[in-house]
């Protein structure tokens, strides 16, 4: 580990005793990453990737770029948005692994905070709300839909390979003093599922091109 990351780890460790809070969303025992956790991640990372590919891989250019209205995203833009977030999620995992485990971190959050009860909920959200004052998760639509699909597929395959082969305790590595890596990966596929609902809604639109 480089000196900066070593010093950062020591700083975090020194702060931990004063960070404990009473939180109803905290489990009472220290969680540990299990084979059941691994299987759950793999099942959903693979399933959501396959569903996204099945919904999009044979689209025409007109279908990729169709919008329900001028202020709505096309399927192409949705897949680009998913790819951008996939990149951000995996970057956070890389940084967390470089910092190293924090086994005595007191503020364990429950997985339920990161799982949508309705995975394809279409409740409107504004991507800018999560990136203020920047707009980097708003897709520009400058690349083809097929290119965006290839991009997210490549990154998802790397995430799947990581989960398959990882031997470290992913519940002992934290991201910005919040979710652990396992929970970060929960957000990867729940985000995917939510936008699958959006894609299916576009395809059901009466003006959606036949080909």
pLDDT tens figures, 86-100: 999 999 999 999 999
Judge whether 175 lies within some domain.
yes
Judge whether 63 lies within some domain.
yes
pLDDT tens figures, 110-150: 999 888 766 556 566 666 677 778 888 888 888 999 999 99
Judge whether 53 lies within some domain.
yes
pLDDT tens figures, 30-41: 789 999 999 999
Residue 126's domain spans which residues?
A: 32-203
Judge whether 21 lies within some domain.
no
Quote the pLDDT of residue 184: 97
pLDDT tens figures, 172-183: 999 988 999 999
Judge whether 123 lies within some domain.
yes
Considering just the CA atoms, what is the radius of gyration of the chain in Å?
Answer: 19
Look at the block and give the residue holding tokens 């485990």. 101
Q: Are 107 and 30 in contact (CB under 8 A)?
A: no
Judge whether 7 lies within some domain.
no
Structure tokens at 92: 């956070």
Judge whether 74 lies within some domain.
yes
In this prediction the pTM is 0.81
CATH of residue 190's domain is: 1.20.120.450
Total structural domains within the chain: 1
Judge whether 17 lies within some domain.
no
């Amino acid at each position: 580990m480089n000196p900066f990351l070593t010093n950062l780890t020591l700083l975090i460790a020194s702060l931990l005793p004063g960070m404990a809070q009473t939180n109803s969303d905290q489990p009472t025992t220290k969680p540990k990453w299990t084979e059941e956790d691994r299987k759950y991640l793999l099942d959903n990372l693979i399933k959501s990737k396959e569903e996204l590919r099945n919904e999009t891989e044979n689209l025409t250019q007109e279908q990729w770029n169709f919008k329900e209205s001028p202020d709505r995203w096309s399927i192409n833009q949705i897949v680009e948005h998913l790819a951008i977030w996939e990149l951000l999620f995996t970057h956070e995992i890389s940084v967390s692994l470089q910092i190293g485990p924090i086994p005595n971190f007191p503020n364990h959050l429950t997985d339920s905070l990161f799982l949508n009860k309705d995975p394809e909920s279409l409740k409107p959200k504004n991507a800018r709300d999560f990136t203020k004052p920047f707009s980097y998760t708003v897709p520009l639509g400058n690349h083809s839909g097929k290119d965006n699909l290839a991009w997210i597929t490549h990154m998802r395959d790397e995430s799947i390979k990581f989960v398959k082969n990882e031997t470290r305790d992913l519940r002992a590595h934290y991201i910005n003093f919040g979710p652990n890596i396992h929970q970060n990966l929960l957000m990867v596929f729940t985000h995917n599922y939510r936008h699958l609902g959006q894609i299916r809604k576009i395809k059901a639109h009466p003006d959606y091109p036949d080909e």
